[in-house]
A and B are shown apart, each in its own frame.
Chain A
């Protein structure tokens, strides 16, 4: 009969099957990658498997994605549409360059004549004293599009 796990387990993790350490080690690796992406590529701290939820007000609810068409007559905002919604939300949570380019190209037909579409991702920051909210630009990308 095999011995039952002791209280608290791992009284000797060394005596435990090594395969049992694989899931926690992989989870720790994922969490480290998530931290890298959050600080290096603006991934929302709440997403990505790094357990940054309930730690920061930097989440999708307080982020905004603005699409601006640059045309011969100046600039114009491109409104959100149902077709763009998923791409826009993806950019909001993780504004990687490929995701922003995909969003800009998908939005281009909504801005006929535009030479470029600018994607801007902003986050809301709250003042330390009176909690006054202000938008801060997180990242932006200008994507040339062909009319």
Chain B
């Protein structure tokens, strides 16, 4: 008996239909079912997955979020429950106050996303309301990220931020080695130089900074500023024409490039979830692209691909 081909899930099957398809029809069927699923349901499920997997390192903050998110994933009817999202809003918000000012920016965005879902589920048209909120959250995020970089931070504009980051931030060490012309030994020597100088026991002898690394820092400065500015414009632009057409390609490009090195998994996941949430029905490939980018961000974080490349190329 031959395996049946992919078919659309029954109404309301959604992500559950995708799992059913995965079991019965293979990956192609699962992709098909996922593409046809309710946009709101996918957005909520992916959001719950983010909340489940990207918990706080502190148990008192993590446990309530993990339990609520797990319940939402295990019992599909709960995923649309306002009570569940109220609990999630409370559980993601109180650490922002309790830990002030230590929380990262994506912790705030997570809480605001929970608020957005709660508002959406309280409206007559939850899918549309969540799409509006998600687009607005993305617009505000990139507007202020651009404002900080381009308008408020002279050291970003003159390239110093990326020069210093490439030379001192371990997250960017492999990028500095792969594209900046620095050897790993030189990077570590720079690190020791800075540490010794800051400890007060040594004269400043200067960083080893190849011209290629300076060019890389300049390129990163320009590309980051332009990309984030373009994202802000695209998501702020009213209607569907003009720069608004570039929303999804730009956000996906941001996701698959930025988080290859800046391994801030939670922020990347949240941006892809917001992208998914602002996506309407009728663009299944765009939604699938967001899911694929979501998975890729996990691969970036878990697989030491840049270290392996550095080693393979013998640039240690």
- With an 8 A cutoff between CB atoms, is A147 at the interface? no
Interchain CB contact under 8 A, A51 and B105: yes
Interchain CB contact under 8 A, B123 and A10: no
- With an 8 A cutoff between CB atoms, is A89 at the interface? yes
Given contacts A17-B124, A133-B194, contact A44 B112 (CB under 8 A): no
In the bound assembly, the distance between CA atoms of A5 and B167 in angstroms comes to 45
User: Which B residues touch A30, using CB under 8 A?
Assistant: 108
How would residues 124 to 143 of chain B score, 1 for a CB under 8 Å from any chain A CB and 0 otherwise?
A: 11011111111111011101
Interchain CB contact under 8 A, A8 and B135: yes
How large, as a class, is the contact surface on chain B?
35 or more
In the bound assembly, the distance between CA atoms of A45 and B145 in angstroms comes to 11
How large, as a class, is the contact surface on chain A?
35 or more
Interface centre among A6, A23, A30 (most CB of B within 10 A): A23
Given contacts A11-B240, A131-B167, A131-B209, contact A5 B128 (CB under 8 A): yes
Interchain CB contact under 8 A, B140 and A55: no
- With an 8 A cutoff between CB atoms, is B315 at the interface? no
Which of B2-10, B47-55, B275-283 makes up part of the contact surface?
A: B275-283
User: Which A residues touch B244, using CB under 8 A?
Assistant: 8
How would residues 75 to 116 of chain A score, 1 for a CB under 8 Å from any chain B CB and 0 otherwise?
A: 000000000000001100110000000000000000000000
B149-168 interface with A by 8 A CB criterion: 149, 152-153, 155-156, 158, 160-161, 163-165, 167
In the bound assembly, the distance between CA atoms of A7 and B224 in angstroms comes to 26
- With an 8 A cutoff between CB atoms, is B23 at the interface? no
- Report which A residues bind B (CB closer than 8 A): 2-13, 16-17, 19-28, 30-31, 35, 38-39, 43-57, 89-90, 93-94, 124, 126, 128, 130-133
* Additional A-B contact list (10), CB under 8 Å, known A2-B124, A9-B131, A26-B115: A8-B239, A8-B245, A11-B239, A20-B123, A20-B130, A45-B148, A46-B104, A56-B161, A126-B164, A133-B194
- Report which B residues bind A (CB closer than 8 A): 39, 96, 100-105, 108-109, 112-113, 115-116, 119-120, 122-125, 127-137, 139-141, 143-145, 147-149, 152-153, 155-156, 158, 160-161, 163-165, 167, 194, 197-198, 204, 206-207, 209, 224, 238-240, 244-245, 247, 262, 278, 280-283
Instruction: Show 30 A/B contacts (Cβ-Cβ < 8 Å), sorted by A.
Output: A2-B128, A4-B39, A5-B128, A9-B278, A10-B136, A11-B239, A19-B119, A19-B120, A24-B139, A27-B108, A27-B109, A43-B101, A46-B105, A48-B101, A49-B105, A50-B105, A50-B148, A51-B144, A51-B145, A52-B105, A52-B148, A53-B145, A56-B155, A56-B161, A93-B102, A94-B101, A126-B155, A126-B160, A130-B206, A130-B207
